Chain A
Amino acid sequence: MALCFFYSRGLSFGFESQDQGLSRSVIKCVYEWLAGMTKRFRGFITVLVLFWWVSFSASAQEWQVSPDQDLQMVLNRASSGDEVILSAGRYLGSFVIAQSMSLKGDAGAVIDAQGEGHALYITASEVTIDGIRIVNWGDDLTEQNAGIYADKKPENVIIQNTYLEGDGFGIWLQGGKDCQVINNQVVGNTALRSADRGNGIQLSNMKNSLVRGNEISKTRDGLYVIASKDNVLENNTMHDLRYGIHYMYSYSNKILNNYAYSTRAGYAMMNSRYLEIRGNVSENTEDYGFLLNYIIYSEIDSNIIKNVWTKPENKVPGRDGKALFVYNSGYNTISNNYVEHAEIGIHLTAGSEKVKVFGNSFIDNPIQVKYVSNRFQEWSQEGKGNYWSNYHGWDMDGDGHGDVPFEPNDGVDKLFWKYPEAKMLMDSPAVLLLRWVQGQFPVLKAPGVKDSFPLMKPNRPVAEKTLLGGL
């Protein structure tokens, strides 16, 4: 008991909340002393001590810390509801937050993990991290090194207004719920190979959380979401990375108004149901604007996809930029999306049927539709089709849609994706002749897509983000 007391005095020296820290150390010592007592008596004393403790903790304490102090020691000693504020300066090392608290930074406060481990490891719930610059955490992906790492079922963890720059993962949340990641900036390290970097923000087995207003760049993937449901991902910007959102086996999430540019895929969405994918933008991407693989019962509405092509130095046969790659994904609604300047506007295959496709605009995509199936699909809903920049019909009655149906996927189109070299012939007399021949003798007409009510004007969704090149 006496030794214990002395020890805690030594530790509490130098902190502003010395008195409270001291009292709490005393409680700890009392507990240890109690451990030696009989069970019955111990119970009685415990109640007394708890009462004493609760009366001490009634009001949250504020701990102002400076870089010359031992931050970890403060974090260990702060208690539920306390607020720890970092003064300007560098806090070196990796820090663990093992109880609920708020950790905030004054301007100029930096946590520098010195190239090892996680910068902040949150093992508690009810933790807020606010306004800190966190840099230089480890690059060991096997150990999942992260700027902020929380894998002990985090609940009500709020991470906001931080700036994170490092090698491994920016923010890793695993196995919890009701968390918020808001207005953070995550920057990866381009000196590392893409595959050797961590993801910006990783949600693994998370529920009912909000990821909003973050900007992620130069990491491997921007938002990585796996086995997580009932979350909202909105207004995030992901750029100069592999996949803007890399998303798998996660049901019932809302993906709203995000912006991905300069990626290999804007949004790689896989193996999930009941998604709302609305108002997002993908621009300047090599392989996919949106990859929808085994996505069902979902709405893909009012997204903008612009400029999807494989760069010449990466071009090989069969690698094509696809604005929408809809694979094995039925029972969805794909509406009011704006698809401009992709090598393939929409590639729909592997039994992606019972999809409602209407109100979309397909503008100047060398292949508007690559439809690989033997079955016929109607792409309009209740008299509303899509806008096709290569539709040459007319609208005599002025009802806003063309008077003759449009088939973007006729035999000649099929010929083009079977023999890509034929694109060279696109407007040549030979192809015009073929199209004419095909029109006369529909035996060549492959089963495919028909839009009975093609729109006469493009339908531009309002994207909250400003496109690089404008619309």
Chain B
Amino acid sequence: MTNNDKDKTVTTEETGGLSRRSFLGAGALAGAGAAAVPMTAAMFASAAKAQAAEAGNNKAFIHPGDLDEYYGFWSGGHSGEVRILGIPSMRELMRIPVFNVDSATGWGLTNESKRIKGDSAHLLAGDSHHPHMSMQDGRYDGKYVFINDKANTRVARIRCDVMKTDKMLTVPNVQAIHGLRVQKVPYTKYVICNGEFEVPIVNDGKASLEDVSTYRSLFNVIDAETMEVAFQVMVDGNLDNTDADYDGKYFASTCYNSEMGMTLGEMIAAERDHVVVFSLERCEAAVKAGKFKTYNGNNVPVLDGTKGSDLTRYIPVPKSPHGMNTSPSGKYFVANGKLSPTVSVIAIDKLDDLFADKIKPRDAIVAEPELGLGPLHTAFDNKGNAYTTLFLDSQIAKWNVEDAIAAYQGKKVNYIRQKLDVHYQPGHNHTSAGETRDADGKWLISLCKFSKDRFLPVGPLRPENDQLIDISGDEMKLVHDGPTYAEPHDCMIVHRSKMKPNKLWTRDDPIFAETVAMAKKDGVDLEYDNKVIREGKKVRVYMTSVAPNFGLTEFKVKLGDEVTVIVTNLDEVEDVTHGFCMTNHGVQMEIGPKATSSITFVANQPGVQWYYCNWFCHALHMEMRGRMLVEA
């Protein structure tokens, strides 16, 4: 500050100062008037204008016992999981293991989870990026959340009545599923996702291995109910992020490697890459007409959507675009520039003409506002404003879409409304219900890739920082820093009124239907019987659990037997989950109220092996245990 530092005294003593702290708060500023400030007229005008906007007044503090207004679904990055947060409190409510192995729930260990993981049951890691909920007419329907696994080229589905993963699919012919969204309108018939890494279309390690001209990325269209690939579309360049329109007609994906470069320098050489737009109607017709090929020994139809195809159009946009976001008005696709300080606004109502070849690809661009350095993702409110993360500036730029369009047409308009520092380096952002027609302009989440000095240091590995921003007023206001473990890439926020999760499992749940069928074949009634079925070296141990007892307090097997323990939790009490843990065997699992879970292991240690309940259930939880007697 200029000319206002009086006698600076440096002391180190600590005193209390709560009252002074509040004195230094906003209250001290009331009645700010003109003062002798050494500024130019221009700077003075700038500063004066900067104070005009007012911040909103959302309440971010949720008192103990009160409930949040929104559910937030967070991806867990390379932790492989999905998490549920309460918004705005940012309290973590639940973790849903998906591509990871989870010690607490036995996900990846139980027979039920292995069945759901299917051909990838042997994979113990994953990288989940983009959680997106199924929709009806452009609004969340609370039914499913879909999530990609970049690490192992998978897509999984979470059933929101039980908040568990119920389907998993390894997508063939591609490598590294990245961007993922859902069809919004008329309903989520399809999940769409991008194969990011370029591989030979016949990836057999033979002639094509180093022949880059055979490398391709495919756009993948998955049936949301059956979770099978309906068809794939071969494109030029690679594929990054994607989104769908609000008409049920078009999908759009960004491409950052139109060069098909194999090294960083090659990938960032071109001035422009592109957005590729897919016509759903034309793709479906092509599949129906049999205009596809199959590769690599599977029967997934692969359509040719490379340049010149009727199925796609390529819209050039500045270098290395990343995020793809549809405005909730349904009018625009926004491609975020990354290496260009601009975002490209594509008018969806021009796409019919583009596909009819009445206009040129760049004519579909109606604005290309310059927002700042490193724009990655854009979220929207319900007032026509957009919020773009600027990775390099480490800011969120709030801008008005229609003003940006006016500026593109040559009008003198300042389309930028505000810039807000975030900490640090924001990636994805998301507004409350902002990817749906229900966008309400209340909250914005900025998923920051680094926390640096924002929290107590915890060693070289730091948490990420998920920041909550109140956008209900004219001015964005940062209200909360949320440390998170590796590494939320994306999130989505749904109003609680859309969600109807179950309190208890129902006995006919398909997740354990196969286990129920096995019991039936063994003549076991899971809700009454506690029985041991022997079939040679295979032993099936059926037991119930009612706090504080397992239905069997002991069972006997022979050393080397393959033991399957099937536990059915008969507690009909909300929140009484049991666990089953066989000590010294690495065996444990969750059994939710009214659920059946099973796990198989080899009894490879002789003698007494205690099993116990490890989800706290009862005052006599410690006593809830039994013996496996292993005869040698």
Contacts and interface: CB of A to CB of B under 8 A. Distances in A.
Bound together: yes
Contact of B8 (A141, A264, A287, A393): A393
A130 B318 CA distance: 31
Nearest to B3: A390
A246 to B, nearest CB: 9
- What 7 A-B pairs have minimum CB-CB distances, sorted nearest first? A318-B419, A443-B17, A315-B46, A142-B316, A421-B51, A424-B32, A312-B45
Contacts of A440: 9
A264 B372 CA distance: 10
B271 A328 contact: no
A440 B6 CA distance: 12
Contacts of B372: 287
A435 interface: yes
B425 A351 contact: no
A428 to B, nearest CB: 5
A394 to B, nearest CB: 11
B515 interface: no
A406 B394 CA distance: 28
B5 A375 contact: no
A377 B610 CA distance: 57
A372 B421 contact: yes
Which of B9, B29, B35, B42 has the most chain A CB atoms closer than 10 A to its own CB? B29
Contacts of B1: 366-368, 390, 412-413, 416, 426
B253 interface: no
Contacts of A389: 2
B408 A193 contact: yes
A405 B425 contact: no
Interface stretch (B20-28, B181-189, B375-383, B532-540): B20-28
A425 B29 contact: yes
A328 B425 contact: yes
Interface residues of B, number: 82
B628 to A, nearest CB: 52
B24 A415 contact: yes
Given A291-B373, A315-B46, A444 B9 contact: no
B423 A205 contact: no
A378 B50 CA distance: 32
Interface stretch (B204-212, B262-270, B484-492): B262-270
A315 B50 contact: yes
B418 A316 contact: yes
Interface in A267-312: 268, 270, 287, 291, 293, 309-312
Given A204-B269, A350-B452, A432-B6, A314 B24 contact: no
Contacts of A425: 29, 32, 35
B52 to A, nearest CB: 8
B4 interface: yes
A27 interface: no
Which of A315, A422, A450 has the most chain B CB atoms closer than 10 A to its own CB? A315
Given A227-B264, A316-B417, A405-B10, A422 B4 contact: no
Given A328-B450, A404-B8, A434 B392 contact: no
Nearest to B47: A423
Contacts of A428: 33, 35
A243 B271 CA distance: 16
Nearest to B413: A313
B21 A406 contact: no
Contacts of B461: none
Contact of A313 (B5, B39, B414, B452): B414
Contacts of B341: 242
Contacts of B362: 142
B416 A364 contact: no
Contacts of B454: 374
Contacts of B264: 227, 249
Contacts of B43: 309, 343, 366
Contacts of A443: 14-17, 20-21
Interface in B409-433: 412, 414, 416-421, 423-425
Interface string B441-457: 00000000010111000
Nearest to B369: A195
Given A194-B370, A195-B368, A441-B17, A318 B421 contact: yes
B373 A312 contact: no
A385 to B, nearest CB: 14
A390 B37 contact: no
Given A268-B373, A422-B28, A439-B7, 12 more contacts: A198-B271, A226-B268, A227-B264, A249-B268, A312-B45, A313-B414, A316-B49, A373-B452, A405-B10, A419-B26, A426-B4, A442-B12
Given A195-B368, A423-B37, A391 B45 contact: no
Interface string A31-48: 000000000000000000
A373 to B, nearest CB: 5
Interface string A407-438: 10001110110011111111110111011110
Contacts of B342: 195
A174 interface: yes
A205 B269 contact: yes
17 contacts: A141-B318, A169-B271, A175-B265, A227-B268, A316-B416, A343-B46, A351-B453, A390-B2, A390-B5, A404-B10, A406-B8, A413-B1, A422-B32, A426-B36, A436-B7, A439-B8, A443-B21
A141 B28 CA distance: 53
Contacts of B3: 390, 392, 427
Nearest to B14: A443
Contact of B339 (A174, A248, A314): A248
Contacts of A411: 24
A195 B272 contact: no
A316 B419 contact: yes
A431 B4 contact: yes
Nearest to B410: A193
B38 interface: yes
Contacts of A373: 452-453
A8 interface: no
Contact of B42 (A268, A309, A319, A350): A309
A349 interface: yes
A327 interface: yes
A350 B490 CA distance: 22
B381 to A, nearest CB: 16
Contact of A319 (B13, B17, B266, B419): B419
Contacts of A419: 26, 29
Nearest to B53: A317
Given A420-B47, A420-B51, A364 B5 contact: no
A127 to B, nearest CB: 20
A80 interface: no
A425 B269 CA distance: 50
Contacts of B241: none
Nearest to A351: B452
Contacts of A248: 339
A374 B271 CA distance: 40
Contacts of A310: 46
B475 interface: yes
Nearest to A393: B8
Contacts of B39: 366
B34 A316 contact: no
B344 to A, nearest CB: 9
B11 interface: yes
A136 to B, nearest CB: 19
Nearest to B42: A312
Interface in B248-281: 264-266, 268-272
A319 B454 CA distance: 22
Given A193-B408, A204-B269, A343-B43, A427 B50 contact: no
Contact of A435 (B6, B414, B423): B6
Nearest to A205: B265
Contacts of B4: 390, 426-427, 431-432, 435
Contacts of A420: 47, 50-51
Contacts of B9: 439-440
A144 interface: yes
Interface in A90-136: none
